[in-house]
Amino acid sequence: PKYVYDFTEGHKDLKDLLGGKGANLAEMTNLGLPVPPGFTISTDACRAYLSAGAAPEGLREQVSAHLAALEEKMGRKLGDPTDPLLVSVRSGAKFSMPGMMETVLNIGLSDVSVSGLAAVAGDERFAWDSYRRLIQMFGKTVLDIDGEHFEEALEAAKRAKNATSDVDLDASDLALLVDAYKAIVREQAGRDFPQDPREQMDLAINAVFHSWNTERAKLYRRQERIPHDLGTAVNVCSMVFGNLGADSGTGVAFTRDPATGHSGVYGDYLANAQGEDVVAGIRNTLSLEQLEQLDKASYDELMRIMKVLEGHYRDLCDIEFTIERGKLWMLQTRVGKRTAAAAFLIAANLVDEGVITPDEAIERVSGAQLAQLMFPQFDLTGKPNRVAKGMNASPGAAVGKAVFDSYTAVKWSRSGERVILIRRETNPDDLGGMIAAQGILTSRGGKTSHAAVVARGMGKTCVCGAEELDVDTKARRLTAPGGVVVEEGDVISIDGSSGAIYLGEVPVAPSPVVEYFEGRLGADSARAGELVRSVHRIMTWADEKRALYVRANADTPDDAARARRFGAQGIGLCRTEHMFLGERRALVERLILAEDDSERQKVLAELLPMQRDDFVGILTAMGGLPVTVRLLDPPLHEFLPDLTELSVRVAVAEARGEDNESDLRLLQAVHKLHEQNPMLGLRGVRLGLVVPGLFIMQVRAIAEAAAQVAKAGGVARVEIMVPLVGAVQELEIIRDEARAVLDEVTETTGADIRALIGTMIELPRAALTAGQIAEAAEFFSFGTNDLTQTTWGFSRDDVEAAFFSAYLDRGIFGVSPFETLDRDGVGRLVSLAAGEGRKTRPALKLGVCGEHGGDPESVHFFHDAGLDYVSCSPFRVPVARLEAARAAV
């Protein structure tokens, strides 16, 4: 197989094969831009090398042939004693992994060729400087020597000369430094620095292959979700020199400002320097304006090339260049990374400039970038004191006084304090405190723990699973590594985008993009600014493009109203369990304890008007858009006191000889309802089937609320959803009971109640028998949280902390299946159920309401699977709108 490609043989679309750098070097070569000649060893060769542990057959010969051609073209031989050709060996994967992999410059220099180079260049200092750089880079990257040793030797050389900068060292200083470096190599690597240029080159190539699998490279890929099996290409390029004196230098440049997105070139230049010197910050760099003063001809040429590149790539490009004695060379280009804000601005500007279409603009931005723009951010310029790091569960920047229980959170916030609720983990009891708090911090639980899911739903900042923290809720204090203690009332700051936890108050800047989505900042207003205007325009194009509807998961009129402002086209999941908490809890307790039907009916009759008001509020807020109400789902014991706490209370009362009749009864009930696996127990439709009257009361509340809204002149479109169905029979029973109630309410009120009855698909059996279930369901909503839990057999509440990091490390999956839908497994069930369901009932409405509904990658899957809508937390609605459009482009 062919492993090696000359720069003239490739082009920019061969990134899989040649890596980003190689593909773009080829593209520039073919555009006629001044690229030093060279060749690229493909990622195929890297993969073959990594799997066999040795260079694949034929690679050496192909490299020899391409090297010979290069030598021919350059009229010099690699490492020739009198006039050496020197090359660089640089890594370059498909996706850029800045600083993760290796580069070796000046290959071909040796004790003899260094004199040849000095003679040809007419510059002793330059030759020795290049040689010492080679040994340094080779030592670090190929021979794995700690860079500190070389740094120390360089510092010592500077000290000996009283020099402040490396340019103050002369040829003889640098020759001495070369000796010192060679000694370091001998000592640290147990071998001499290789004098054979070809051996240098081959070892460097292998080192680049190896660098694909260093720990930091793996970690980087995991974070950036880059697959581990791509491998890197290797670029061998003839050297040009920026360290040939004052008329030489090296720099980086951007065709637009990557931080703001503003038009106009931007860059840094360093005279008499090579390679990483610019980024390493060893000397102060010059601006491009200063380069213009210094070397007008090179500057003009650079401007011309940047124009060519932007026009050709039709996007912001970044560039590495070198000037060798007044001649400009291009060493790299690529479509440049940019901040989220710059991405939106550039995309909108390029449409205005007539360079790209609105569809392309949608592709140039991402939901993740939009999400970043929506969260307030900490201003870290003051270098705040970071005490620990947890998981970035729900983005945002929150500051407040530490409180360790929900009650205090509510009380303090009522008196105007901002608080951060800190718990080991949260449960439904903490809801009040979570609502009152600016942010939530837990020391246990993963990204789908209660705290994380609820916080995301509320758009509230949350850092969870900060295991380095010892949270002592009784003592109202937490202890961080290094013995740092935070007591109740101490101010802390938590960053839900990074997971960082800071001591004290870190300043925060609000997001204008959220103000815009909330309708508090018009896109045309003077205050809006170019970023908001760009977001507005791109979102308008996105809404025209997308096929998926986007709904929100919302349980309160406030959430519903916000979701609508964010562009939700309905509610895809209204969880009713939150309507059974707070003051109503006592009623629910009575319902569970009811010994006979009349007591049960009494309680249900008390709950009915409350539920009805809840639904009136939500239906009114949604003004005629569809609202999916899910009947009660969680296991009943969640509404009862904790078993251990209650047992203690009963025992204490007993010991004191106090009357504890009601606690005793409660304890009995708790015992009776106690389950080993409550998530697989008495919940969802099973509750509806065994607790008489419960679901019927809820359906009646929905029907009466719809009638009331209709009577008041509004439109109510409800979709009644039955959770945790596994068999069509379960659904049929509930459906028949519900229909009867709907008919009855329609009859007695005379109102036009438009209600669909459908089900969640959140168990494998439901997916597998979707064809049957569709007989009884007017819609399906995929509950991908439970469907993931039951398909993998992973408990959604425990699993992440326990072993997900090991699974991620070992590559079993690249991202938690609770975060991004597992296409191969869970996704297959979704597709199967969608297909079978529609076979039975072609008009079947299909949606998803699990957390995946707001995850960008998963949204693309749901688009491809032909669903009608996704539903996600209100704050993710804009992200889902954008990603749905990107999926449709």
**Binds ligand PEP (CB under 6 A): choice among 115, 260, 556, 785:** 785
What are residue 494's DSSP bridge partners? 398, 501
Q: Could you tell me the smallest distance in angstroms from the CB atom of residue 428 to ligand PEP?
A: 12
**Binds ligand PEP (CB under 6 A): choice among 23, 87, 399, 573:** 573
Q: Could you tell me the smallest distance in angstroms from the CB atom of residue 785 to Mg ion?
A: 5
Retrieve residue 219's tokens: 């970690």
Mark the segment that binds ligand PEP (CB under 6 A) among 537-545, 600-608, 780-788, 828-836: 780-788
- Answer whether 433's CB lies under 8 Å from 403's CB: yes
**Binds ligand PEP (CB under 6 A): choice among 182, 386, 476, 575:** 575
762 has binding-site annotation: yes
Nearest residue (CB) to Mg ion, 44 versus 800? 800
235 has binding-site annotation: no
Total residues binding ligand PEP (CB under 6 A): 10
Taking the mean position of all CA atoms in its chain, how far away is CA 362?
18
Sheet holding 477-480, edge to edge: 470-472, 477-480, 484-487
Q: Does 786 bind Mg ion (CB under 5 A)?
A: yes
**Binds ligand PEP (CB under 6 A): choice among 465, 783, 827, 878:** 783
823 has binding-site annotation: no
Residue type, 522: G
849 contact, one of ligand PEP, Mg ion, none, CB 5-8 Å limit per kind: ligand PEP
Using CA atoms, how far residue 347 sits from 261, 361, 886, in Å, is: 9, 5, 14
Retrieve residue 402's tokens: 């530490």
Q: Could you tell me the smallest distance in angstroms from the CB atom of residue 807 to ligand PEP?
A: 21
575 has binding-site annotation: yes
Nearest residue (CB) to Mg ion, 670 versus 849? 849
Mark the segment that binds Mg ion (CB under 5 A) among 57-65, 482-490, 518-526, 786-794: 786-794
Query: Strand 385-389 and strand 549-553: pairing?
Result: unpaired
Nearest residue (CB) to ligand PEP, 321 versus 861? 861
Using CA atoms, how far residue 39 sits from 36, 42, 176, 238, 242, in Å, is: 10, 10, 34, 9, 21
Q: Where are the alpha helices (DSSP H) in 378-447?
A: 406-414, 431-436
786 has binding-site annotation: yes
**Binds ligand PEP (CB under 6 A): choice among 559, 633, 704, 883:** 633
Query: Strand 461-464 and strand 391-394: pairing?
Result: antiparallel
**Binds ligand PEP (CB under 6 A): choice among 786, 819, 836, 883:** 786
Ranked by CB distance to Mg ion, the top (closest) residue is: 786
**Binds ligand PEP (CB under 6 A): choice among 103, 113, 784, 820:** 784
Strand segments (E) across 731-777: 754-761
- Report the C-alpha gap between 713 and 719 in whole angstroms: 20
Q: Which of 349, 374, 348 is nearest to 362 (CA)?
A: 348
Determine which helix (DSSP H) or strand (DSSP E) holds 215, and give its type and residue range. Answer: helix 215-224
- Answer whether 10's CB lies under 8 Å from 42's CB: no
Retrieve residue 662's tokens: 């009601």
**Binds ligand PEP (CB under 6 A): choice among 390, 465, 635, 850:** 850
Q: Could you tell me the smallest distance in angstroms from the CB atom of residue 684 to ligand PEP?
A: 8
Retrieve residue 110's tokens: 């040796």
Nearest residue (CB) to ligand PEP, 614 versus 762? 762
- Chain positions 754 to 773 lying near ligand PEP, rule: CB under 6 A, are 762
Q: Which of 885, 746, 889, 763 is nearest to 829 (CA)?
A: 763
Q: Which residues are catalytic?
A: 450, 849
- Chain positions 280 to 309 lying near ligand PEP, rule: CB under 6 A, are none
- Answer whether 349's CB lies under 8 Å from 360's CB: no
Q: Could you tell me the smallest distance in angstroms from the CB atom of residue 855 to ligand PEP?
A: 12
Q: Could you tell me the smallest distance in angstroms from the CB atom of residue 853 to Mg ion?
A: 12
The C-alpha torsion from 46 through 47 and 53 to 56, rounded to 10°, is -70
Using CA atoms, how far residue 711 sits from 131, 614, 620, 707, 750, in Å, is: 87, 17, 12, 6, 9
Retrieve residue 725's tokens: 């169905």
Query: x/- contact string, 755-784, with Mg ion (CB under 5 A)?
Result: -------x--------------------x-
- Residues 6 or more apart in contact with residue 662 via CB below 8 angstroms: none
Nearest residue (CB) to ligand PEP, 78 versus 722? 722
32 has binding-site annotation: no
Cβ atoms within 10 A of the Cβ of 715, count?
A: 14
What are residue 847's DSSP bridge partners? 781, 869
Q: Could you tell me the smallest distance in angstroms from the CB atom of residue 839 to Mg ion?
A: 25
Nearest residue (CB) to Mg ion, 31 versus 679? 679
Q: At what angle do helices 171-189 and 147-161 cross, to 10 degrees?
A: 150
Nearest residue (CB) to ligand PEP, 469 versus 573? 573
Nearest residue (CB) to Mg ion, 102 versus 786? 786
618 contact, one of ligand PEP, Mg ion, none, CB 5-8 Å limit per kind: none
**Residue list for the binding site for Mg(2+):** 762, 786
Task: Provide the annotated binding site for substrate.
Answer: 575, 630, 762, 783-786
- Given the rule CB under 5 A, which residues bind Mg ion? 762, 783, 786
Q: Which residues bind ligand PEP (CB under 6 A)?
A: 573, 575, 633, 762, 783-786, 849-850
